[in-house]
Structure 1
């Protein structure tokens, strides 16, 4: 079950939800057919709960939101970007452990 703290990102809300955010944002680029995306989903939910108030955790379905995925050159999924002050400050591609993603987030909070 997805955490209610995970923000659903779209081409339409990306600017306001991510680029104009006052906190670091972890964006999970994913698709429903992607096995590793399904494996990382519970980790994303846990991070959303643990970083509530410190960071924004969001998911963007690349099949439904091709514009943003294209703008950021997403070629493999899952791709996770950390965006702070409107700029990409970190990136991880493929399945990552919760510890790896926590370390990634901690370096930008």
Structure 2
């Protein structure tokens, strides 16, 4: 299952669902972002019922990137109750994202 790409309206819906949301800020031309795609898909399958996973294309939504201080790609933010609570900058091993999500889900 592919991870949805959202713009402003879709973004607001994803972070406003009441469950944690893992959002990747990237671009189609960004090699590390493309390398992260399969990891995001795996996380979506693994935690999909407990965490929303989505992507924001910074070229299509520069205002969202600016609002959250995204300066490098990929940047992954974890939202809880509509607020950004964690930020990972750059490509990380899958385990780093799993731990981030597990922390959000467990407490």
Normalising by structure 2, we get a TM-score of 0.92
SS in 2 for 1:26: strand
The alignment's C-alpha RMSD in Å is 1.0
**Structure 1 residue ranges (4+ consecutive) displaced by more than 3 angstroms after TM superposition:** none
- Counterpart of 1:92 in structure 2 is 88
What do the CA deviations read for 1:51-101 (whole angstroms, capped 9, x no partner)?
A: 111100001100011111111111000000000001111110111111110
Alignment of 1:1-109 (within 5 A): 3-4=1-2, 6-18=3-15, 20-109=16-105
Question: Contact 1:77–1:94 at 8 Å: present in 2 too?
Answer: yes
Size of the aligned set, in residue pairs, is 105
- TM-score, scaled to structure 1: 0.91
Q: Residues 5-34 of structure 1, C-alpha deviation per residue, up to 9 Å, x if partnerless?
A: x2321122221221x121100000010111
**Distance across 2 between alignment mates of 1:50 and 1:102:** 9
Asked if the contact 1:7–1:56 (Cα under 8 Å) also holds between the matched residues in 2, the reply is no
Q: Which has the higher helix share?
A: 2
Give ranges in structure 2 of 5+ residues lacking alignment.
Answer: none
SS of alignment partner, residue 91 of structure 2: coil
